[in-house]
Amino acid sequence: MPGKITGRQEFTLVECPRDAMQGWPVFIPTEKKIRYINALLKVGFDTIDFGSFVSEKAIPQMADTAKVLSGLDTAATRSALLAIVANLRGAETAAAYEVIRYIGFPFSVSPTFQQRNANSTPDAARQTVEKIQELCLRRNKELVVYLSMGFGNPYGDPWSEEIVMEWAQQLAAMGIGILSLADTVGLASAIQVKSLTSRLIASLPEKTIGVHLHAHPGNWMDKLDAAVDAGCRRFDGALKGIGGCPMAGDDLVGNMDTVNIISRLTEKTGFSGINQSALEEALSLAAVTFVHDH
């Protein structure tokens, strides 16, 4: 491993209750979402990916994002709020809220997944990113672009590191400051994670390169270590590893468990800065938030 890394500010931790909730099979009541996210706001995460302004028909679980937002207590938190959008209309809705700092857009390097996820081609999505970036600059927001299917796809679409690098360069040229490599269906190997992440960081040194990894219980540590060793300092996770892409077709492939990320970063780098008692409280709330009947 590289030399010992110390200091809270060296890492950016993004907690993703939105990703955990969006595929949950039963609707989580608005007041339960509010209570859970308010608990997460006390833990010390840099960013909370709290909801999305997308089609209610496509993602019914996120239909109450505006109501959830109105119930959040952001007065005494260090956490910034991030909302996911799939088009310019969603971005305009998100940008109207002063309390939202980041707008996230999933940009798929797989044409098939871009069509399934947002009903557009990668070229059309690139034009959408351009418009959302202009909006963010006007409204004092920061755009985070996720490179979905960043490590391959199950559809037979062409994939290579060069394809991902080319799209990343185009997005960076628009002024996007944060690009996050998303292992959307948990396909990535640790070798892939290290290779592509280190190449992106080297080629775009002025940008923040993050990872949004989905993992199997047996391979999360290898993937996480690979990203840290590649120089990555921005990590997305979800408590208890809930969520992930429903299209993965494997119930064991979920989000990377934030508790695992924290414990591994602490062990590997001396990371600190999380409020442990607030984390325990959030974990106990997760147990009653993510249930199969309400």
pLDDT value at 126 more than 90: yes
Per-residue confidence at 208, pLDDT binned at 50, 70, 90? very high
Q: What are the distances in angstroms from CA 266 to CA 13, 73, 106, 145?
A: 13, 28, 29, 27
Q: Check whether 4 has a pLDDT greater than 50.
A: no
Chain-centre distance for alpha carbon 145: 9
The pLDDT of residue 105 is above 60: yes
**pLDDT for the residue numbered 9:** 47
- Residue 39 is predicted with a pLDDT of 98
The 10s digit of each residue's pLDDT in 19-57 is 999 989 999 999 999 999 999 999 999 999 999 999 999
pLDDT at 6 over 90: no
| pLDDT level of residue 98 (50, 70, 90 thresholds) | very high
How far is residue 129 CA from its own chain's centroid? Answer: 17
Domains of the chain in start order, with CATH, are: 8-289 (3.20.20.70)
pLDDT in tens, 138-185: 999 999 999 999 999 989 999 999 999 999 999 999 999 999 999 988
Q: What is the pLDDT of residues 244-284, one digit of tens each?
A: 665 545 565 789 999 999 999 999 988 988 999 999 999 99
Q: From CA 136, how far away is CA 139, in angstroms rounded?
A: 5
> Strand, helix or coil at 286?
helix
Q: Which residue has the tokens 């147990």?
A: 287
Burial 240-266 (b: 16+ CB within 10 A, else e): bbbbbbeebeeeebbbbbbbbbbebbe
Cβ-based neighbours of 283, under 8 Å, separated by 6 or more: 239, 240, 259
Three-state secondary structure call for residue 239: helix
* Residues 10-29 pLDDT 10s: 899 999 999 999 989 999 99
pLDDT > 90: what percent of the chain? Answer: 83
112-114-15 Cα angle (round to 5):
125
Residue 192, pLDDT above cutoff 90? yes
pLDDT at residue number 250:
55
Convert the pLDDT of each residue in 63-97 to its tens digit: 999 999 999 999 989 999 999 999 999 999 999 99
**Using an 8 Å Cβ cutoff, are 19 and 287 in contact?**
no
Predicted confidence at residue 54, as pLDDT, reads 94
Query: Looking at the predicted structure, is the pLDDT value of residue 2 above 80?
Result: no
Distance CA 171, CA 161 (A): 15
Which position has the token pair 């952001």? 74
pLDDT of residue 246: 53
Give pLDDT, residue 158. Answer: 94
CB 239 within 8 A of CB 257: yes
